[in-house]
Amino acid sequence: MPTKTAEDYLAALADELAISDIRYEQANKSYASLGDWLHRPASKVLQFDPEIYVQGSFRLGTAIRPLNEEEEYDVDSVCVLRLLSTSHLTQWQLKHLVGDEITAYHRSQSMVKSVEEGNRCWVLPYANEAQFHMDIVPAVPNSSRQKALLETAGYDTRWAETAIAITDRRLPNYNEQTNQWPRSNPKGYAEWFRLRMGPIFEQRRKFVAEAIQASVEDIPEYRVRTPLQSAIMILKRHRDGMFVGRYDERPISVIITTLASHAYNGEERIADALYTILEGMDRYIERNGNVRIIRNPTDPLENFADKWPLYPEREKAFFEWLAQARRDFEYLGQQVDRRRIVEAVKPHMGVAAERAATRLGPSSGSMLRPAASAAIIGAGAASAPAFPSTRREPTSPKGFA
């Protein structure tokens, strides 16, 4: 167990990393505005019943502040044309059908920065002061095909209803009429993530509602943050700080989020959640010979670590990061002096480390005095978390058969 000072500090660190409600509101207004544009009478996609919604960290409530003022928030969204399917058109046709509308919206809003085409999405940049851009992934429904695939393989189909097919211009069949499109299911993943948070999410949402005398339905989900979300935010920032200059090697957020969610066991405090996750997250990495598998819990046929065999440095980087995170937070958990706590994570948490200590307010002077004596450190070490030094054999991940 971490010391009380360490517990308080980790809670303050999560608060420091959290983005403001204003940023969430900006993102909501932005994709709602784009949705209104797609539903205008002159829209080329209106007849296909477009739906646009946010995905990724903004949907999960795990978005964190950029490392610096030059970086932008990445708001991931999906544009689903609900009356089309993979049998109606090619990936290229869908990509540009949606892209033409995004470009028209860009012109109508007199945006200065140009729309850019990504491999799977269109990138809609906003003004510098907004400090974010929106990645919009064109998609069509894919529930029937997804359900059939999972049933054939003997997997749980509970999440298939919200499955979608998306585009990827890197694929050889990008311009061909085929049903073999890339698969995704951000709504299903978000629902699985909510289940992994457990009842604590609704409990906290109800608490917020009672505190301001509002109904639970009136409380936006981004106003509520659970220990699982906070722990993931801390781990993502630690990852960012560790891989400055090595961006392509860094563990991707969906791997951290998935493994952390599997390892989380309903802890009600951020510190307890963080240490439980760090101790057990690698148990949910399966192995098939030399190939590591991190299954998408809503589509077990998808391996989030599928790039590791092609780029072995990424697999190595994941275990390098996990080992470093365990060391850093194990040391932090032993400390009773704030200076030493900050020193434990500052190399990889950056300025957020000191700002989190400031959030705690004046202490007994530990931030102004030299570091605590060895005797004090030894007293705190008795209750410190300990992480395994050897890899464990993976068990079957929670959340699917």
Q: Which domain holds residue 177?
A: 21-184
Handedness of CA 106, 112, 118, 120 (dihedral sign): negative
Q: Are residues 79 and 158 in the same domain?
A: yes
Cβ 27 vs Cβ 83: under 8 Å: no
Q: Are residues 3 and 48 in the same domain?
A: no
Domain end, chosen from 168, 184, 200, is at: 184
List, for residues 287-306, the tens digit of each pLDDT value. 999 999 999 999 999 999 99
Give domain status of residue 201, yes or no.
no
Tokens of 255: 């791997």
Strands of 180-255 (E only): list them.
183-184
Give domain status of residue 46, yes or no.
yes
Q: Are residues 37 and 13 in the same domain?
A: no
Give domain status of residue 171, yes or no.
yes
Give domain status of residue 11, yes or no.
yes
Pairing of strands 73-81, 132-141: parallel
Q: Are residues 180 and 248 in the same domain?
A: no
- Confidence (pLDDT) at 283: 97
Q: Are residues 280 and 141 in the same domain?
A: no
Helices (H), 335-396: 338-349, 351-359, 374-381
Q: Are residues 329 and 346 in the same domain?
A: yes
Give domain status of residue 354, yes or no.
yes
Give domain status of residue 194, yes or no.
no
Q: Are residues 29 and 13 in the same domain?
A: no
Per-residue pLDDT of the chain in tens (401 residues, 90 and over written 9): 789 999 999 999 999 999 888 888 888 888 899 999 999 999 999 999 999 999 999 999 999 988 877 677 888 999 999 999 999 999 999 999 999 999 999 999 988 889 999 999 999 987 655 567 889 999 999 999 999 999 999 999 999 999 999 999 999 999 999 999 999 999 999 999 999 999 999 898 898 888 888 888 777 787 889 999 999 999 999 999 999 999 999 999 999 999 999 999 999 999 999 999 999 999 999 999 999 999 999 999 999 999 999 999 999 999 999 999 999 999 999 999 999 999 999 999 999 999 999 998 876 544 333 333 333 233 333 345 667 654 544 544 444 43
Cβ 162 vs Cβ 150: under 8 Å: no
Give domain status of residue 198, yes or no.
no
Q: Are residues 333 and 285 in the same domain?
A: yes
Q: Are residues 359 and 394 in the same domain?
A: yes
Domain end, chosen from 154, 184, 214, is at: 184
Domain total in the chain: 2
Cβ 115 vs Cβ 122: under 8 Å: yes
Q: For 113, left (φ over 0), alpha (ψ -120 to 50), or beta? A: beta
Shortest CA distance to 64 belongs to which of 126, 121, 13, 119?
13
- Confidence (pLDDT) at 73: 81
Domain end, chosen from 184, 199, 214, is at: 184
Q: Are residues 10 and 52 in the same domain?
A: no
CATH number at residue 139: 3.30.460.10
Q: Are residues 166 and 245 in the same domain?
A: no
List, for residues 28-61, the tens digit of each pLDDT value. 888 899 999 999 999 999 999 999 999 999 999 9
Give domain status of residue 125, yes or no.
yes
Tokens of 267: 């802890």
Q: Are residues 236 and 358 in the same domain?
A: yes
